[in-house]
Structure 1
């Protein structure tokens, strides 16, 4: 009975925290931190493409294979990758729900009138727009390179380098990714700074360096992500080997 009461108390405490505005802000900040961490790791993984086709054994293909076999034989094939995906899905749901509910509360407190805060940065003023664009882009990105559903260009399972090369020979895909990554940069700049404030890490003497750090992180991530489509489009990264060779290390 004590265990049951304790469990109920913890659930009640978490519910009360979530129902409060500060609790939602903390949840948004923490879930955002999880997503930022993933974005950094994803960018670093993508940069494996810069090693080139590798004679049909591209390093980025090997990296993708490693992601799916990580933890074997102790863990099932793809277990860690799916665990990360579930964590990211939860983080995205918490983040979006918290932001939408906080915005609704703020609007209700103003009697339904839109906010007109003076001195807001561009990244702050457009955070809802960039967030919406990023959500749409994430869905598109998954359909294109994860499920291979959007197959305007030749796509093959496991042939990551060839898939990227073929996609980014099309100027409209390059432009789409440039716009999406630009939105990511603005969203990150504001989001990281907001998270710092929410978690109480800001102070008058640290605010300027923290703002610069948030801006620098956004720039690094934008440049890191844009290198891949631009270098493929300009043919600075070589053409992949034949499809057969590219699939040598394919993930089955």
Structure 2
């Protein structure tokens, strides 16, 4: 990394750009992942076939599952860069006001903006659990990589309502995070006019609702017996 690039990434604008770009990359991943999850409504055979197909992407140029691991490493880099930029901006903002206000008027802001930090923590914890559950199978009752459909059904069975509840809480936290994050990213990338702000708010809300509804439909359908 040359000196000019280093200066850009260390600036406030550069950090906001890094957070915005990595955020957009993660939103695209979430959309694709959600669409893949919805394949479960087609049937067990189709869902298992889709899961197997993911492991063969890039073959024979790449060995089996290599594409998935390249994707996972890229996603991990995006997550680390996103957290780094968010943390750096928060610390910089705090350093700019080392002395607390004697009396600070309440700042009017959205619930999503006020919960970005703890929402991010919940999401990170859920991702770790999700990987150990449905990716590696260590925390799954079945843990059979050859039958992903059976893993999902066993995971969200009615008697494991606490898993479904944790999933719902994590997705709700994700929705709040997305609503504020997508809006902030669009503002950072140029939506500064009044009409642009309205479009950004609507688009951010739409993205959050669509992704949350898509992800929640699977565990709720399994728990209520729609998917067996």
Query: TM-score per shorter chain, which class?
Result: over 0.9
In the aligned structure 2, how far is the partner of 1:218 from the partner of 1:113?
34
1:81-230 to 2 correspondence within 5 Å? 81-111=68-98, 113=100, 118-151=107-140, 153-169=141-157, 170-230=160-220
Give 3-state SS (helix, strand or coil) of 2:92's partner: helix
Task: Look at both structures and tell me which one has the larger radius of gyration over its CA atoms.
Answer: 1
Unaligned stretches of 5+ residues in structure 1: 1-9, 239-252
Two-structure CA RMSD over aligned residues (Å): 1.5
Q: Write out per-residue CA displacement over residues 194-233 of structure 1, whole angstroms, 9 at most, x where no aligned residue.
A: 0011111332122112201110110011110000000001
In the aligned structure 2, how far is the partner of 1:91 from the partner of 1:188?
15
Do 1:107 and 1:113's aligned partners in 2 also have CA atoms closer than 8 Å? no
Q: Write out per-residue CA displacement over residues 16-49 of structure 1, whole angstroms, 9 at most, x where no aligned residue.
A: 1111111111001001111111011110010011
2:63 is aligned to: 76
* Counterparts in 2 of 1:123 and 1:69: CA distance versus 1, 3 Å: same
Give me the TM-score of the superposition, normalised by structure 2. 0.94
* Counterparts in 2 of 1:117 and 1:44: CA distance versus 1, 3 Å: farther
Give 3-state SS (helix, strand or coil) of 2:194's partner: coil
Deviation at 1:66, TM superposition (A): 0.8
2:32 is aligned to: 41
**Structure 1: 4+ residue segments shifted above 4 A:** 114-117
Give 3-state SS (helix, strand or coil) of 2:84's partner: helix
In the aligned structure 2, how far is the partner of 1:166 from the partner of 1:205?
47
In the aligned structure 1, how far is the partner of 2:172 from the partner of 2:12?
30
* Counterparts in 2 of 1:112 and 1:66: CA distance versus 1, 3 Å: farther
* Counterparts in 2 of 1:117 and 1:99: CA distance versus 1, 3 Å: farther
- Paired residue total: 224
